[in-house]
Chain A
Amino acid sequence: AWQGHCIGSTKIRLVEFSAFMEQQRDPDTYNKHLFVHIGQSSPSYNEALLESVDIRQIYDKFPEKKGGLKELFEKGTPNTFFLVKFWADLSIHTQDEAGMFYGVTSQYESAENMTITCSSKVCSFGKQVVEKVETEYARFENGRFLYRIHRSPMCEYLINFIHKLKQLPEKYMMNSVLENFTILQVVTNRDTQELLLCVAYVFEVSTSEHGAQHHIYKLVKD
């Protein structure tokens, strides 16, 4: 029901993705702010089919050498590659960083029991600056296998990047910096090395009062 409508291949589907900061005020009170968020817990036919973007338009925004986006696309199967344009919500102003936690939660589901490897590459001017690789095992729940990377700590590079971005006085300045900032996520089956999902993220700052927004595209080669 969801293929072509959201981020997912025949093998695996993204259920949730969020990057957030959370501060504990007292033992019972947490303030949570979402920088970006995708919730795909119940997609349906009713949602519009995804628009396409020619992957060649963004090759240079991501690593181009061995193992880069071009090579992944040429080796991978169609309908596995997606582009997300995020309008990140940076409208949070904190007085102090005490007790602050910066994290990323992502969740995938599949009909297959696998061990997955999730690589997240932060890129500046298309060059990888930091990579996190996480391995996740399946948990059988409600008739499908769930993979949940829960509250993975955000790397120092990203935390510093957010801090510096927030110090810029105008949104157009933030967008100018974000023009050269991207993230590439690749999910593979650890045991077979099959590429299951590849998501390229690009960013602007949200001007909405309703929090982070996004558009999802499928990446194709026309």
Chain B
Amino acid sequence: ARHGQVPMRKRQLPASFWEEPRPG
């Protein structure tokens, strides 16, 4: 990340945020 932004991976986000849903 530039401009001093914290990478998304280092933020407090639900585990599902990184799991692409499987259709059906």
Q: Which residues of A contact B (CB under 8 A)?
A: 51-54, 57-58, 60-61, 85, 87, 125-126, 179-180, 202, 204, 206-208, 210-211, 213-215, 217
Contacts and interface: CB of A to CB of B under 8 A. Distances in A.
Interface string B1-24: 111011110011110110111110
A219 B16 CA distance: 15
A204 B3 contact: no
Contacts, number: 48
A179 B16 contact: no
Contact of B3 (A53, A125, A211, A217): A125
B5 A126 contact: yes
Contact of A208 (B11, B16, B20): B20
A213 B21 contact: yes
A61 B23 CA distance: 28
Given A179-B8, A210-B23, A215 B16 contact: yes
Contact of A213 (B3, B11, B12, B20): B20
Nearest to B19: A215
B14 A217 contact: yes
Which of A60, A61, A214 counts the most B-chain CB atoms under 10 A from its CB? A60
Contacts of B21: 87, 213-215
